A and B are shown apart, each in its own frame.
Chain A
Amino acid sequence: MNVLAIESSGPIGSVAACRDDELLVEHALQVGMEHGRMLLPLVDQVIREAAWDKRREIDLICVSQGPGSFTGLRVGVGCAKTLATLLNKPLVGICSLDAMAENAPAEYVSILTALDAKRDQLYAAAYERHGEALERKAGPVIMCAREARDALAWPVYVLGDALRQYPGEFQPPGFVAAPEEQWRIRASVIARLGLEAFRAGRTDEPVSFQPVYLRLAEAEEKRLARERKQP
């Protein structure tokens, strides 16, 4: 089964082509946050290098569904759902935090992924390792850094750019901070998790498929807050 996977939730996007569990090609966007311009050329390059007939040889499309950059997500999800619909092939969305958690070294059992969500909040998910597999125990949710810290049983391995934004909240001995290269979400991991989910019987309906934003538009949040104050 040929799997095309797209990640565009983070600052460095990537596209991967896999044949079953074997990674054939993976490329990252060299320039950060240029997904709108550069994602399709990258998809084209990956498909060419995999030597697939794009109309006939893509069997499954996997995409990072968020949370993450709203605009970045819309580019990846927009491309993936258009492809899946036109090709009439299955689509699987993968939680971007799940893919990031896979970067944690095998010796850590408790893992927290945390992305800076701006406005004093973060997107977080907590995992526990069972043998080879990670089980998501909580999230993805939007919360403040202190809540995330207090909710966890120590010690925890933390990944994500929230470490840069809130270094004080995730200090040893309770927390081990992952190095920055492990914060990067990879399309090849999206492909692997997507194929696993597909084998387990999961697919997403492409036409109605949406990113997991975890947050309303700012104007909407403010309006709802106003309405709560003055019913």
Chain B
Amino acid sequence: MRILGIETSCDETAAAVVEDGRRVLSSVVATQDRLHLPYGGVVPEIASRAHLAAILPVLHRALEESKTSLDEIDAVAVVNAPGLVGALLVGLTSAKTVSWLIDRPLVGVNHLHAHIYACALERAEPLFPCVSLVASGGHTSLFHSRSPLEHELLGCTLDDAAGEAFDKAASLLDLGYPGGPAIDRAARAGDRRAIAFPRMKLKAADSLDFSFSGIKTAVLYHCRGPNGRQPRLLSDQEKANVSASFQEAVVDTLVDRLTSAAERTQEGRIAIGGGVTANSRLRERLTDAAKRRGLELVMPPMRFCVDNGAMVAGLAWHLLQAGRVADLTLDVLPTSRAAALAR
């Protein structure tokens, strides 16, 4: 069974064809990084316009590269939540149009669940049950994932997403956008003990939630003085040290929460997904922590860390088996409402 998956929830226009939930026949991603570069973050209106310009070429390539004709598509899957409303609507409209035209089922897919599922693509061994972390520019969420369709939210960020903190830090250090890869690169030459940035503290000691606004502010003060308005000239070595120290603080938090969640749920397997999980230091530390604790760590291939259509088409296969088909009135759910519902 071949499913076409479409994803436009943030700043990547993506489509893919996946067979039987695992075999990725094509995965095409058009990134908009360059468009958002001058703003140091994703501008929703710019993203929505770019999605509309890119969606048809991306769809066309996904079908062509998978050597799939329109009539060989058995279902059309699309991310409808959570994300930027205007951006989600572009993918949703195209998905509905294709599904309607070829009379094949439409499947609405949750973006976060799809990121977890990215670990199952092209993997023979089981992934579920597991404890999973999705960390990206828009989300930082921890789940107890019992099956492809059952994800219990254990914790999520109370303010900024981990990826947003990376973007902000990179912008303060003039390292460019997107911040994740830029910090990762700069940090390699830095000393991660150079600056003792604060680790997140939450009121409830047993909370599995996240908070990144504190460290963001600490980086701001470090780079621009205690009132945030006196930019200091930083040498490349200082920038590398700030990058490494900042990255270590964020990674500490992510590793801590994920391993605590595994302990609490008694799960022996942990999985990660989302753009931030492409970070080399996070992967290194998680590999290490998993080994020490005897946990199995599952990481998606790099190309499935960022937003992509394959994770959507893959997860949709399970939704379809469970009869979870949408009709043409399927709507989008923006990030804020989706988060409120998950709580």
A positions within 8 Å CB-CB of B: 36-41, 43-44, 54-55, 70-71, 74-75, 77-79, 81-83, 85-87, 206-208, 210-211, 213, 217-220, 223
Contact = CB atoms under 8 A, between A and B. Distances in A.
Interface of B: 38-39, 43, 45-46, 48-49, 52-53, 55-57, 59-60, 70, 85-86, 89-90, 92-94, 96-98, 100-101, 327-332
A40 B39 contact: no
Given A36-B331, A210-B49, 13 more contacts: A54-B101, A70-B45, A70-B49, A74-B49, A78-B94, A82-B55, A82-B56, A82-B97, A217-B43, A217-B46, A217-B49, A219-B39, A219-B43
A79 B57 contact: no
A190 B327 CA distance: 27
Contacts of A79: 93-94, 96-97
Contacts of B331: 36-37
A148 B250 CA distance: 54
A40 B48 contact: no
A206 B94 CA distance: 13
Contact of B97 (A38, A83, A218, A223): A83
Contacts of A223: 38-39
Contacts of B101: 54-55, 83, 86-87
Nearest to B70: A86
Given A40-B97, A210-B52, A219-B45, A75 B89 contact: yes
Contacts of A70: 45, 48-49, 86
A219 B328 CA distance: 33
A78 B328 contact: no
B56 A81 contact: yes
A78 B96 CA distance: 10
A210 B329 CA distance: 24
Closest 4 CB pairs of A and B: A217-B45, A78-B93, A82-B97, A40-B96
A223 B330 CA distance: 36
